[in-house]
Structure 1
């Protein structure tokens, strides 16, 4: 669902509180661009798509995890989501990974998180941060 949709051959743009659900996957964003074959109807945009760009307040939610960022791009040929901009990966209730970019392969469920800064001089900014909470711990 979205507040509005505009279609032209090969591209459909959904705007305003975009909420897409397929099976147990939910994708949220401010704007979503769906690049497809020659479909020109918004209702058919997801039937023949090859690329999706979700821009602004991006969320990719499954029962096992949640990915947040400023932008998410899905490439159908590689079955890969690339998420950029203040990326947060939540797994379970307690495990958190943050970074600048996440590459998530949906075929094998492998995720790679990268930062833009390397070395100790960066502090925490621009680096990948991981918080793993043991099930018996009461504190972080």
Structure 2
């Protein structure tokens, strides 16, 4: 019986070490940035052909919120420079004009990332919705990105 337990333990350790069993990498990573839920997509923010940061978009189906962060690339981390992100759910805002704007922003001098910013993830009519994200980042030494507008459709 003990031999069976040892073999099972060795097999489990081997599976974990080889990467066959992974504890949801994107969820853990999302939690590190303050977003929860499923990773949707990312895109680079660049200036003068130099990528300074990446916008990462997540959606949490249980809370029905979308969340985004503007994460600096490794070469630019550690130094506090201007990093901004803002997000608007246009569909929700159009459907619910009397309830105010579904908009969130974060910006300032950050060493790692800006955000998280969160907006309600679905329109009240249940149709797919359109999110606009505006992000910019400074790498310092004259490497400043202009604001990058990105509109994405989500469900």
TM-score (norm 1): 0.29
Bigger relative contact order (CA 8 A; separation at least 6): 2
Instruction: Kindly indicate which of the two structures has a greater share of residues assigned to helix.
Output: 2
TM score, norm. by length of structure 2: 0.27
Greater strand share, structure number: 1
